[in-house]
Every structure is written in structure tokens, then in C-alpha cells.
Amino acid sequence: MLAFTPTQALPSALGSRAKGILEQLFNWALPACLRFVRQEVVEISSTEDAALARTAMRIIESCLDNFVPGAHMQLCMRVFA
């Protein structure tokens, strides 16, 4: 079983609690995703589980790159002011 550990790669704006939740979520979802890929997907070029896990983490990191805590509140205040 793969375990997600590189929480230092996540944006520093995320607190330790959010990083812990993301780590738990990743460790919970990853085995099911890998099982799905292995059982239901026909791969043209075979991949290793570790490579798929790294790719999934990079996608999560890219989604969080522009994360700014409280930014949604600032936007709401501008829109509804």
C-alpha cells in the first residue's frame, strides 16, 4: 500500500490541520482509484502504482497552487458590498 507523506509539497498557506485532512483523504481514496485503474481501464502503456500516485498528487498540488486563505470571503465582500 502506498502512503502519502510529502505534505511539505503543499502550499504553506494550508495549515497543518488542512494538510492532515488532505493526507487522510489521499490515503483513503488512492487504493480505490488504483484498484479501479487496474481492473477497469485498458492501459496502452502500463504504469506503476507509484507513478499514478505521484501524478495524482501533482494534480492536487496544481489545484492548490493559487490557494489563498480567506480569498473567497474577500470576493464575497466585494460582490455583496
**pLDDT tens per residue, range 24-79:** 888 898 999 999 999 999 989 888 988 988 888 888 877 777 766 666 556 555 66
pLDDT recorded at residue 5: 56
Name the residue range of residue 57's domain: 7-79
CA 59 from centre of chain: 6
Which grid cell sits at 1? 500500500
Which grid cell sits at 15? 495549515
Does a structural domain hold residue 1?
A: no
Does a structural domain hold residue 59?
A: yes
Does a structural domain hold residue 2?
A: no
The torsion angles phi and psi of 15, rounded to 5 degrees, stand at -75, 170
> Residue length, the chain?
81
Number of domains in the chain: 1
Collapse the DSSP code of 40 into the 3-class scheme (helix H, G, I; strand E, B; otherwise coil) and give the result. helix
Stretch (H or E) spanning 26 = helix 16-40
